């Protein structure tokens, strides 16, 4: 099955849907991706074409199926300690600097299935210990991804960049039928909370944060959406708080509320 199985008109419907709901722009070269990710769902529902599927989810009568479509069309590629330079910077200078207040909070704003959030939590456990007051909050537009993150169970292929000793210290290896998996230890999970949040909508009352990770997300937005999303996050940053974006991203012409300290690392002014 190829992109020819989805017409230009059908593709445009899903383009508009994803931009409206999630702020995500699907360029024309994603036509085959849309078909590949949705065609199995068509078979499950015994539907003949994507036009029928679109009319079904756009009718307002099936919000769960609409959410499933959004889940299928958003990207969830991630692994533990991705872009390790950011974690080094989190240790020095951020965590090594004197802090006012006792509660240190980090938001993984597009946490996918949770590897980023748990990477941050393991690092904070290593640097701050279990007794200090700190929290990691992870969010994603995908309900399925959030549920997987809450479970804290992963394939061991995702640990290539995990620092030495972290696997033994903060994870449990699966045995028997669970061999090849790991589970985050409860002492780490206890500091992490997850919720489903659409960054393209007004944010719920989630408090403020010392650090926000928003990595490898802005590349999927057009400039007006980038501006709106970043401004929402800036309002959730504490004074002098830090924002990390992906190494292939930048905030040029996006905001004047943040000062670039290094490529992909910004601070609230």
Alpha-carbon distance values, 16 to 26, 27, 42, 67, 176 (Å): 9, 11, 20, 15, 47
- The three-point CA angle 141-145-150 to 5° equals 115
The values of phi and psi at residue 184, to 5°, are: -65, 135
Q: Which of 37, 68, 158, 193 is catalytic?
A: 37
Determine how β-strand 104-108 pairs with β-strand 209-214: parallel
Yes or no: say if 257 and 268 are a contact pair by the CB < 8 Å rule. Answer: yes
Alpha-carbon distance values, 122 to 38, 147, 184 (Å): 36, 20, 9
Q: Is 96 helix (H, G, I), strand (E, B) or coil?
A: coil
What is d(CA 253, CA 154) in angstroms, rounded to the nearest whole number? 38
The tokens for 81 are 């300690």
- Residue 68: active-site member: no
What is d(CA 213, CA 29) in angstroms, rounded to the nearest whole number? 28
Residue 155 bridge partners (DSSP): 181
Q: Which of 82, 140, 226, 236 is catalytic?
A: 140
- Residue 186: active-site member: no
What is d(CA 154, CA 148) in angstroms, rounded to the nearest whole number? 9
The tokens for 188 are 């780490």
Write out the catalytic residue numbers. Answer: 37, 140
């Amino acid at each position: 099955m190829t992109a020819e199985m989805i017409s230009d008109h059908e593709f445009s419907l899903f383009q508009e849907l994803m931009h409206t709901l999630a702020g995500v722009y699907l360029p024309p070269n994603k036509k085959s991706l849309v078909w590949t990710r949705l065609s199995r769902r068509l078979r499950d529902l015994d539907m003949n074409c994507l036009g029928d599927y679109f009319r079904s989810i756009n009718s307002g009568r099936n919000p769960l199926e609409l959410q499933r479509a959004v889940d299928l069309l958003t990207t969830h590629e991630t692994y533990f300690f991705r872009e390790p330079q950011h974690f080094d910077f989190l240790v020095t200078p951020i965590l090594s600097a004197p802090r006012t207040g006792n509660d240190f909070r980090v938001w993984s704003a597009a946490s996918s299935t949770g590897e980023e959030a748990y990477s941050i939590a393991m690092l904070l456990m290593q640097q701050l210990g279990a007794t200090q007051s700190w929290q990691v909050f992870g969010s994603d537009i995908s309900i399925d991804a959030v549920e997987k993150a809450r479970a804290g169970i992963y394939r061991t292929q995702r640990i290539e960049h995990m620092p030495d000793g972290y696997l033994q210290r903060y994870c449990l290896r699966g045995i028997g039928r669970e061999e090849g998996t790991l589970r985050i230890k409860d002492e780490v999970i206890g500091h992490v909370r997850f919720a489903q949040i659409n960054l393209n909508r007004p944010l719920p009352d989630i408090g403020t944060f010392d650090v926000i990770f928003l990595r490898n997300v802005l590349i999927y937005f057009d400039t007006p959406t980038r501006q709106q999303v970043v401004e929402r996050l800036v309002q959730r940053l504490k004074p002098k708080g830090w924002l990390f974006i992906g190494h292939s991203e930048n905030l040029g012409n996006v905001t004047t509320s943040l000062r670039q300290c290094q490529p992909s690392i910004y601070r609230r002014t």
